[in-house]
Chains A and B, each alone.
Chain A
Amino acid sequence: MNQNRGFNLSRILLSAATLLTLSSPFNKLQAQPDGAALYNNNCAACHRIDQDLVGPALGGVTERLEEAYLISWIRNSQAVIASGDQYAVDVFNKWNKVAMPAYDWTDEEIKSVLAYVKEQSAAAATAAAVPAAGDAAVAEDDSFPISQILWVVIFLFAAVIYFFVQQRNKLEEKFEEQVASGNIDPSKLKEIKPSFKVKPIHAIGGGLTVFLLAAIGWGVDVANHVGIQQGYQPSQPIAFSHELHAGTHEIACSYCHVGVERGKSATIPAVNICMNCHNQIKKDAPEIKKIAAAWENNQPIEWIRIHNLPDFAQFNHMQHYKIAGIECQTCHGEIQEMAEVAQHSTLTMGWCINCHRETKVDLDNGYYQAVHGNKESFQVALKEKGLTIANLGGLECSKCHY
């Protein structure tokens, strides 16, 4: 009986403990608002901890100002300013009179945000103390391998030269030995010892031949490249990097080249498109200042055209990019890796025609279903055979020359 009772008691205790542990975090979540989430969703857009942005940096704000003041400010900053509070008016004026939205939050919610700001300020302060040492280490690491490789190459080069000089000296010694021991008749020395005497006619003839061959090579090369600008990589008036914009930041090509899905030209972005970001980002860099100058003077930037089709050949970006779904990279190469753009393709007629011969038409794009939808045998036949652009008249002269 006793035993049984003890068992029951411990079971009750156990379940009570489980209930407590299960329920306590749940209660906590309900009672305590998530300051980090509130901060990131509402404040982070305009405030940073260690950096002025749209509004002032918030690092240490909980020490600068009293909590009650901050609460009233966050709840309705305009009311605080309207009350004539000098500090509030100064802050408002300093930050270009941009009104901070009013937040209809409870005291607990605002306190949780302030707690989060305090915590982040402390973290930022400790982080700021550390990096100097880290930077130095990184810099050393960077310089290390290049010099190392250079020294290895120099050493190998020296070793090879030393080896050949050694070998040559040994042969010479052997030859001298043979002469000294009388195995070689000194009077025939001239015939045996290898020598090559350069006569003037050799030099002139040889020089002329080298020059002629080089000239022919140059001529053939030039003739081969007439009208072909593959690899053309001019220096642009502004050192714009596709590697940074399209590569690192993955900005879509058509953010700037807005015409690519609308018409013949992919279009060169107007200055206002650059300024969408560069009215803020890196605005003190010399290259960016050129954009700002063009913007202020209402002058277009004179980019140097790289891809140049002759006037008698028509090309339409929309037809290729939007309708056919060809990637930009198919013709322009890995543009997202180019710090300075070079022409990737030859842009010759053979190059165009070849692609029209090889590229299969996308038969599942809706059009072929709509036109030939009920003729299943036709569909099957098309798919089995495969339909190329050439089959649709992609090799007709007047497709491109009109």
Chain B
Amino acid sequence: MKNILIIGLASMSLLSSCGLIADKKDPGWEYAPQMYVSHPYEPYTQVGDNNVNADGKNMRAPVEGTISRSGIGFDNTKLELMYNYPIHKDSLETAARMLKNPLEATPANLEKGQYFYGKYCTPCHGAEGKGNGSVGEIYGGVPNYQASYIVNQPSGHIYHVITKGKGRMWAHGTQIRPEERWQIVMYVNKLRGYTGE
């Protein structure tokens, strides 16, 4: 009898510990799912089909021709204008000529620029803007900011390239907000030793 008990207990612990019960591909059971799953549609959760939207998905793209107001002060017309960016991808020279950095060149802005540069640019452009980031080495075609055709480009050029992309670099406008882009421009100017507008 004792033997059987031991065998039973052993198989019990074996079953629960060896992952025979807890399959890691299985999310397991849920108590009262009607309380767990949101009734209003959530963009990043989809349980079953959505009967309202034609494609059956909760997730929606922003309405065409609209801009996000979240995070912009209503009185800051300059920043609002930056969201309405009518310059075409190929009009790099126009952008370079027309755009001026609306942010003040404060140490706080520069510091934020360095922070966002670190997040969004270093993988390819490298910490010092030499084009030697670990992803850039594989991606190829990443220029050094010291290259003669970059070092003296105005700030608007850099801003447009971040927003719309250039050559092999794709647009990063969906990832980085306009004010953050201008902060990055400040830091890029510092990296390439550019002091102009």
A residues with CB within 8 A of B:
40-42, 44-46, 48, 53-54, 98, 101, 103-104, 205-206, 209-210, 212-214, 216-218, 220-222, 225-229, 231-235, 248-252, 254-255, 258, 262-263, 265, 267-268, 270, 272-273, 275-277, 279-281, 300, 305, 308, 310-312, 342
Contacts and interface: CB of A to CB of B under 8 A. Distances in A.
A229 B45 CA distance: 16
A206 B101 CA distance: 81
Given A41-B147, A45-B131, A272-B174, A255 B11 contact: no
Interface of B: 3-5, 7-9, 11-13, 15-16, 21-22, 24-31, 35-39, 43-45, 57, 59, 70-71, 118-120, 122-124, 131, 134-135, 138-144, 146-149, 167-168, 170-172, 174-176
A273 B175 contact: yes
Given A45-B131, A270-B174, A101 B149 contact: yes
A213 B9 contact: yes
Contact of B138 (A46, A267, A273, A281): A281
Given A273-B175, A280-B141, 14 more contacts: A54-B140, A54-B167, A209-B8, A210-B8, A213-B9, A213-B11, A213-B12, A222-B28, A250-B134, A255-B175, A265-B43, A308-B27, A311-B37, A342-B24
A44 B119 contact: no
A262 B57 CA distance: 24
A280 B168 contact: yes
B44 A205 contact: no
A221 B9 contact: no
Contact of B22 (A104, A225, A255): A225
Report the 3 A-B pairs with minimum CB-CB distance, sorted nearest first.
A217-B12, A213-B8, A45-B143
A98 B21 contact: no
A265 B43 CA distance: 10
A40 B144 contact: yes
B139 A234 contact: no
Nearest to A232: B27
Contact of A103 (B29, B35, B148): B148
Contact of B142 (A45, A48, A249): A45
A40 to B, nearest CB: 7
B172 A226 contact: no
Q: Is the interface of A mostly helix, strand, loop or mixed?
A: loop
A276 B135 CA distance: 11
B4 A45 contact: no
A218 B148 contact: no
Given A45-B142, A212-B8, A249-B123, A221 B21 contact: yes
Contacts of B174: 270, 272-273
A48 B124 CA distance: 16
A90 to B, nearest CB: 21
Contacts of A279: 170
Contacts of A206: 3-4, 7
Given A45-B131, A267-B44, A225 B142 contact: no
A41 B124 CA distance: 15
Given A217-B12, A217-B13, A222 B27 contact: no
A235 B23 CA distance: 12
Given A53-B140, A249-B123, A254-B119, A234 B25 contact: yes
A131 B39 CA distance: 60
Contacts of A312: 35-36
Contacts of A310: 35-36
A218 B8 CA distance: 12
Contacts of A255: 119-120, 123, 175
Of A44, A205, A226, the most chain B CB neighbours within 10 A belong to: A44
Given A44-B131, A233-B25, A276-B170, A265 B44 contact: yes
29 contacts: A41-B146, A45-B131, A45-B142, A45-B144, A46-B140, A46-B141, A53-B141, A101-B147, A206-B7, A209-B5, A210-B7, A210-B8, A213-B9, A218-B12, A218-B21, A222-B28, A225-B29, A231-B24, A232-B28, A235-B25, A249-B134, A255-B123, A255-B175, A280-B140, A280-B168, A281-B138, A300-B57, A308-B36, A312-B35
A234 B138 CA distance: 29
Contacts of A209: 4-5, 8
B140 to A, nearest CB: 4
Contact of A229 (B28, B141, B149): B28
B144 A41 contact: yes
A205 B7 CA distance: 13
